[in-house]
Every structure is written in structure tokens, then in C-alpha cells.
């Protein structure tokens, strides 16, 4: 636990704004119907961009879980583990 302080990212607006922007990038609603061309690495352009944004979303959520989440349950579990050793 970093610095022993409880942090819950649900209260941070920048997390939600970035999550919304990434989610909008995943859904290729902004492409015209003719966006099946060109192909990049065998994927249509819209599918390639959607895949890239999906990978970005996975990385972002993983980073949030590792760096931004520090909730009370962690403290409770560590206290219970200490109590079990006695």
C-alpha cells in the first residue's frame, strides 16, 4: 500500500473523462461507410483503429488498478492477516 492512504479513483473526474474518450475511440462511429479501405496489417482501417484503442483501454485500466486504487479492503485484509499470525 502506497503511503498508507485510501484512494478510490471513482472520485477523480479525469479518470472518467479519459475512459470516455478511449471508449469513443473504440467504436468507429466517426468513420464513413467507405472505411473498409485501406487495409493495415490485413485489417480494415476502422478495425485496426478499434483494436489499437482496445489495447490502450486494457493498458489504461491495468495502470489504474495498479497505481490509483488503494481501498479500505486492502487495509482490512492486512489487519486480518496480522491477527491470524498471533
pLDDT in tens, 16-64: 999 999 999 998 887 777 766 788 888 888 888 899 999 999 999 999 8
Give the pLDDT of residue 22.
94
Q: Is the pTM of this model over 0.75?
A: no
C-alpha cell at 41: 496489417
Provide the phi-psi class of 37: left if phi over 0, else alpha when psi is between -120 and 50, else beta.
Answer: beta
Give the pLDDT of residue 18.
94
Q: Do 70 and 2 touch, CB atoms closer than 8 A?
A: yes
Distances (CA, A) of 32 to 24, 28, 64, 70: 15, 9, 33, 42
Amino acid at each position: 500500500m502506497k503511503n498508507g492512504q485510501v484512494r478510490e479513483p471513482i472520485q477523480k473526474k479525469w479518470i472518467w473523462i479519459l475512459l470516455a474518450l478511449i471508449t469513443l475511440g473504440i467504436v468507429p462511429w466517426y468513420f464513413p461507410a467507405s472505411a473498409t479501405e485501406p487495409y493495415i496489417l490485413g485489417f480494415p482501417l476502422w478495425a485496426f483503429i478499434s483494436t489499437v484503442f482496445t489495447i490502450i483501454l486494457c493498458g489504461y485500466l491495468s495502470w489504474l488498478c495498479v497505481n490509483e486504487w488503494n481501498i479500505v479492503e486492502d487495509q482490512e485484509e492486512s489487519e486480518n492477516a496480522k491477527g491470524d499470525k498471533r
